Amino acid sequence: MLVAMSGGVDSAVAAHLLREVGYEVLCVHLNFDAAGGCFAAGSADDARRSAEAIGIELIIEQAGDRMAPIIDYFVAEYARGRTPNPCPVCNATVKLARLTALADELSADYIATGHHARIGRRDGRACIRRGRLRAKDQSYALFAVSPDIMDRLLLPVGELSGKQAVREIARTLNLPVHGKPESQDICFLAGGDYAPLLAERAPRALRAGNIVNSAGEVLGRHDGFGRYTIGQRKGLGIAAAEPLYVIGIDAETATVTVGPKREVFSDELTASAANWHCQVPSEFAAIVQVRYNHQGAPARVRLTGQGGFEVKFDETVAAVTPGQAAVCYEGDRLLGGGWID
């Protein structure tokens, strides 16, 4: 059993839980510090100390070069006027891809992470399900992983009742990371501010332009369309009779369109580059989640060919954002998803 140990409390507890039920556990820490971003300082040391406290062997692999394509994708999406979501891409193409390859090299039958999601079975096949505590569920960030790894993937932390249960186990074990704060930022950004990264790698995304309403009337100016995302209210710098929200971004003309709250809502979306974890019909009902902290909404999904699909929501949904993922569920079972266009 090969467990990804990030240096946080979730992965450390995952390793402990798996050893407790009888697995022979080996941990690996992918160290991204050389990727040119601003990664969490000391994560490798935290992983090492946690492994020592549990009594499990740890491999530290220098993996900075593996993160470079994720950062390239991140800035390229902003340059297109989209809002990227790097975590699902990284989980699929870097973290779990490398974990699987290492498991093959080491003849490990299973792999595991500290994600708050669960593995279940449906029609004789393994599938991803939401974590027991919906507020901490991370299955959305796993939609892009290959369905080929389902039979060997374990997610023990998702069976617990949330973060407090994880921390309680960690405190009982005297793990050094039991009180480590939970990061809310993208791992390769300093303090969550991506503007310096855009200035360095995609200055096109910081071109100034007009802020207009849905009728095309100029209301003001902005200092870079890449600083905005659909649904954003703060930082517009426009005085109006009612609150205004970003409802559109045109990268070609560097135009940001704003409107009242009612114009933030939509009842449909199109998506591409779908990754399905099971065989789905050409049209089906699902709960569709359009961003990480969205609760999901009932909808009809229709496949359009070439990895595309359309979603028609039963009721309007706020801030459907190009570049984010539209992830489909049947109850708590992850069906798959794609990227909102």
Tell me the average pLDDT of the chain.
93
**pLDDT value, residue 35:** 47
Could you say which of 1.10.10.60, 2.30.30.280, 3.30.465.10, 3.30.56.10 is the CATH number of the domain covering 207-259? Answer: 2.30.30.280
Kindly tell me if the per-residue pLDDT of 324 is higher than 50: yes
Task: Tell me the two tokens of residue 63.
Answer: 């993996």
2-172: CATH topology? Rossmann fold (3.40.50)
Query: Sign of torsion, CA 98 100 106 112?
Result: positive
Please confirm, yes or no, whether 127 is among the known catalytic residues. Answer: no
- C-alpha to C-alpha distance for 141 and 85, rounded to whole angstroms: 9
- Average pLDDT rounded to a whole number, residues 212-224: 96
* Termini Cα distance of the chain: 38
**pLDDT value, residue 37:** 45
Q: Count Cα neighbours of 132 within 13 Å in the Cβ-side half-sphere.
A: 12
- Average pLDDT rounded to a whole number, residues 45-57: 93
Which CATH number applies to 265-340?
2.40.30.10
Q: What is the pLDDT of residues 125-148, one digit of tens each?
A: 899 999 998 889 999 999 999 999
Sketch the domain layout of the chain as residue ranges.
2-172, 207-259, 265-340
When pLDDT is cut at 50, 70 and 90, the band that residue 175 belongs to is very high
**Catalytic: which of 27, 87, 127, 187?**
187
**Catalytic: which of 27, 90, 127, 328?**
90
Please confirm, yes or no, whether 90 is among the known catalytic residues. Answer: yes
